[in-house]
Structure formats: C-alpha cells, structure tokens
Structure 1
Amino acid sequence: MESIIFNILRVAKVIDTDSMLIDSTVLPDNIIYPTDVGLIFKAFRKMEQFARQYYIPIWWDRKELRQLRREYNLNRKKTEIEDLFFDALLIFSAGLRKFKTIVKSLEGPDQDRKKAQQLLALLMLFQDQNALKLGGERHIPNRIVSFDEPDSRPIKKGKKHPSCEFGSTLQLSFNRQGFMITMENFIGKPNDKTLWPGTAQLFEKRMKGVPEHAIGDQGYRSRLNQVIPKGCPHIFLGKSQDVGKEKRDFCQKARSATEGFIAISKNIRGFGCSLYQGSDGNRIWSLLCQTAYNLKKFLQLYNDEKISEESLMRLGLLG
C-alpha cells in the first residue's frame, strides 16, 4: 500500500528528487520503563503462562514471590531495591533450572516446543545479563528490557529528555518538500556512518535518480560518505566547507528542516510509539505511519496550491 501511493505521487511528479535529507531517531516500543527487579517478576509471569498452558504445577513459592513484589512496590530506596533484586534473583535462578528440565522433556507439536525453546533462550540470556550486572558491568550488549518486545533496546540519541528511549532505530530520509522517501528499522543503535550508503542507495532506487543535494549531520561524516551518492554534486555532512558558498545557506536550512520533519513524524504522525509488537510489527507500523505522513504532506501542498497543474492533471484532479 505504501509503495503504491508513493509511486503514484512520484510518477505524477508531485515528489521532487532535488534533495536527500537523512537523519535517524528512535521508534519507542509500547513498554513500561524497565527495572531489573521488575523484569524478574515479568519473567516469572512468562513462566507461569507457560505452566498454565500445559497444566504444569507452579514450581516456585508463590507466596514468597508475592511478598517480594509487595515490598518492591512499597519500598523504592536504592539500598532496599538492591537487596530485593538479589533475593528475587535467587528464586529466579532456581526456577529457571527447573524450567530448563521441563522444556527438555516437553512433548507436543513442533511449533509449541519451538516457542518454549525461544522463551527458554530469552530467559537464559536474561540470566546472563543479571550475572554481568552483579559483576559490576554497566554497558551490557543486547540488553533485554522487555519480554514482550525482546528486540527492544535502550538507545541514547544525545537528547536531554528523555536521555534514553527503549525501542529500535529508525533511519529516515526526506526530500526538501518534506515527503518521507525512505524508512528503515534497525535493532539496537547501529553507527550512523554505516547507515548512510545503504540509505542513499535506497533513496536513488525509490526516486529513480540521483539527488542534487545529499544532507546529513556530522554523525554520518566519513571519507567514504563524502562521495555518496555517486554523482551527487553537493554533499553536506554538517560542516560548512563541505559545499560552496552559493549552496551553503540552502544546505544549512535543509539540515534544520530535517529536525522539523522528524519532530512532526514523531509527535503528530505516529512514530512516537509503535503499537505493534516485534520487529515485523514495528516494520508494519512504520510503513503505515509513512503512508499517512506522505498523504498528509500531499494534502498540505494541495491546499496551499503548491502542486503544479501538470501533476494535478496526472492525478486526475484537474480537468
């Protein structure tokens, strides 16, 4: 659906190819703020759901766990939380050992066994994560922040508030009009320098041509990226000397406009939070938001009478 709408606007020459404006942001997932103790309680809920599905008796002391959860909800002092975390982790470690045995002996359809093995792998990864935390490690790669959104990651983008968001990386490109040309989802926070070539190639493929201007911030800056896209006469990556004086003002204003386009996409057009689960869900949600974003942009230009008569005739909107 997104491709059909985009191609109709492109073929009708509503969307210009003159400029490629690239930036990345975070697509937050619809999860509560993760805490180490809270994630342990969530892990027990996942194991309990599994036990109920297969009519397996609960193998941990539910009363003890309920008491720990009550203490956690009532006491939020740092020293007390650390003690609660250690107590909850001991119960979880014992429960996980039993869960391993149950999954290995599980009988049933292959699909059910595969889901149980995936849950076990996720819980074991969470256990390793807790061991690293107890060892004093602060920066844990592929850190689990949600059992409902296992691909969600803590991502910092240099903002004051919020300083960290939980979700996936969203790589976007626009043209100078403000149409969203490309949209890509990535797990975690890949280096912007490595994303630039792929996004530039995708932009060229969708627009069937090379833009006159390629504009990004200094996060994309590298020797390789200063010549991508190939054949683009003006590539601006955050420094005024990247382009000639006659193009400097245009590129700087376009760079500022990119921030505005992203702010609109996140605060008004749905990219502020994904309401679908998993990587596939985030991809579908993003495509739907991109479709709505470009349709709204078209309506804005149409109402402001900024679409040429030729384009309106191609779209059948002008007799």
Structure 2
Amino acid sequence: MESVIFNMLMVAKVIDKDSMLIDSTVLPDNIIYPTDIGLIFKAFKKMEQFARQYYIPIWWDSQELRQLLREYNLNRKKTEIADLFFDALLIFSAGLRKFETIVESLEGSDKDKKKARQLLDLLMLFQDQNAQKLAGERHIPNRIVSFHEPDSRPIKKGKKYPNCEFGSTLQLSFNRQGFMITMENFIGKPNDKTLWPGTTQLFEKRMKGSPDNAIGDQGYRSRANQKIPKGCPHIFLGRSQDVAEEEQAYCQKARSATEGFIAVSKNLRGFGCSLYQGTDGNRIWSLLCQTAYNLKKFLQLYNDEKISEESLMRLGLLG
C-alpha cells in the first residue's frame, strides 16, 4: 500500500529529488518502564503461562513470590530493593533450572517445542544479564527490557528528556518538501556512520537518481561519507565548511527542517510509539505511519496550492 501511494506521487511528479535529508530517531515500543526486579516477576509470569498451557503444576513457592512482590510495591528504597532483587533472583534461578528440565522432556508438536525452546533461550539470556549486573557490569549488550518485546533495547539519543527510550532505531530520509522517502528499522542503536551509505542507496533507488544536496548531522560525519552519494555536488554533514558559502544557508535551514519533520512524524503521525509487537510488527507499523505521513503532506501541499497543474492533471484532480 505504501509503495503504491508513493509510486503514484512519483509518477505524477509531486515528489522532488532535489535534496536528501537523513536523520535517525527511536521508535518506542509499547512497554512499561523496565526495572531489574520487575523483569524477574515478568519472567515468572511467562513460566506460569507456559505451565498453565501444558497443565504443569507450578514448581515454585507462589506465596513467597507474592510476598516479595508486595514488599517491592510498598517499599521502593534503593537499599531495600537490592535485597529484594537478590531474594527474587535466587528463587528465579532455581525455577529456571527446573524449567529447563521441563522443556527438555516436553512432549508435543515441533512448533510447541520450538516456542518452548525460544522462551527458555530468552530466560537464559535474562539470567546471564542478571549475573553480569551482579558482577558490576553497567553496559550489557542485547539487554532484555521486555519479554513481550524481546527485540526492544534501551537507546539513548542525547536528549535531556527522555534521556533513554526503549524500542528500536528508526532511520528516516526526507526530501526538502518534507515527504518521507525511505524508512528503516534496526534493532538496538547502530552507529549512524554505518547507516549513511545504505540509506543513500535506498534513496537513490527509490528516487531513480542522485540528489543535488545530501544533508545530515555530525553523527553521520566521516571521511568516507563525505563522498557519498557519489557525484552529489553538495554533501553537508553538520559543518558549514562542508559546502560552498552560497549553499551554507540552504543546508543549515534544511538540517533544521529535518528536526521538524522528525517531530511531526513522532508527535502527529504515529511514530511516537509502535502498537504492534516484534520486529515484523514494528516494520508494518512504520510503513502504515509512513503512508499516513506522506498522504498528509500531499494534502497540506494541495491545500496550500503548491502542487503544479501538471501533477494535478496526472492525478485526475484537475479537469
């Protein structure tokens, strides 16, 4: 659907390819703010759902666990939480060992066994994460922040608030009109420098040609990226001296406009939170939001009478 609408606007020559504006942001997932002890209780919930599905008796002390949860909800001082976390972790470690035995001896279809194994692997990864935390590690790669969204990651983007969001990275490119040309989803936070070449190729493929201006912030800045796209006369990566003096004002304004396009996409067009689950769900959600974003941009230009008569005739909007 997104491709059909975009190609229709391209054929009608509504979308210009004069400039490529690239930036990345976070696509937050629809999850509760994660805490270490809170995730332990969520892990027990996952094992309980598994047990009920296969009519397996609960193998941990539910009353003891409920008491720990009650104490956690009533007393959230750091010193007390540390003790509660350790107590909950001991119960979880014992429960996980039993769960591993149950999964290994599970009788059922290959699909059921695969799902059980995936849950076990996720819980084992979470257990390793807790061990690293107890060892004093502060930066844990592929850190689990949700069992409903296992691909969600803590991502910092240098903002004052919120200083950390939980979701996936969203790499976007626009033209100077404000149309969203490309959209990419990534797990975690890949280095912006590595994303620039791939996004440039997608932009050129979709627009069937290279832009006259390629504009990004200093996060994309590298010696190699200052030559991509090849043959582009003006590549601006956050510094005025990147382009000739007569192009500096245009590039600076375009860079500022990119922030505005991102703000609109997040606050008004659905990119502020993904309501679908998983990597595939985030991709579908993002494509739907991109479709809505470009349709709204077209309506804005149409109402402002900024679309040529030729384009309107091609779209059948002018007799």
The TM-score normalised by the length of structure 1 is 1.00
1:6-25 paired onto structure 2 within 5 Å: 6-25=6-25
Tell me the residue number matched to 2:139.
139
Which residue in 2 is equivalent to 1:125?
Answer: 125
CA deviation vs aligned residue, 1:155-210 (integer Å, no higher than 9, x gap):
00000000000000000000000000000000000000000000000000010110
Q: Which residue of 2 aligns with 1:84?
A: 84
Deviation, 1:287, is 0.1
How far the C-alpha of 1:11 sits from its partner, in A, is 1.0
Hey, what's the Cα distance between the residues in 2 that align with 1:100 and 1:45?
16
**Number of aligned residues:** 319
Letter in 1 for 2:40: I
Q: Confirm or deny that 1:62 pairs with 2:49.
A: no
Aligned partners of 1:13, 1:204: CA distance in 2, in Å?
16
**Structure 1: runs of 5 or more not aligned:** none
What pairs up with 1:27-46 in 2 under 5 angstroms? 27-46=27-46
Aligned-residue offset at 1:78: 0.2
Name 1:242's counterpart in structure 2.
Answer: 242
Provide the secondary structure at the position in 2 that maps to 1:26. strand
Match of 1:178 in 2: 178
Inter-partner Cα distance in structure 2 for 1:100 and 1:172 = 42
Equivalences for 1:237-276 in 2 at 5 Å?
237-276=237-276
* Aligned amino acid, residue 13 of structure 2: K
1:224 to partner: Cα distance: 0.6
Residue aligning to 2:200:
200
Q: Which amino acid aligns with 1:258?
A: T
* Cα distance, 1:231 vs structure 2: 1.1
Cα deviation for residue 262 of structure 1 reads 0.1
Measured in 2, the distance between the counterparts of 1:209 and 1:107 equals 56
CA shift for structure 1 position 18 = 0.1
Amino acid at match of 1:31: I
SS of the counterpart of 2:31?
coil
Cα shift readout 1:1-20 (whole Å, capped 9, x = no counterpart) = 00000000011110000000
Match of 2:209 in 1: 209
Structure 2 regions of 5+ residues with no counterpart? none
Deviation track 1:114-147 (CA, whole Å, cap 9, x = no partner) reads 0000000000000000000000000000000000
- Within the alignment, does 1:284 sit opposite 2:272 as a pair? no
Aligned to 2:108: 108
* 1:30 alignment partner, SS class: coil
- Give identity over the alignment, percent: 88
Q: After superposition, where does 1:140-155 map in structure 2 within 5 Å? A: 140-155=140-155
2:224 maps to which residue? Answer: 224
Alpha-carbon distance in 2 for matches of 1:287, 1:137: 37
3-state secondary structure, aligned to 2:219 = helix
Superposition RMSD in Å: 0.3
1:178 aligned counterpart, secondary structure? coil
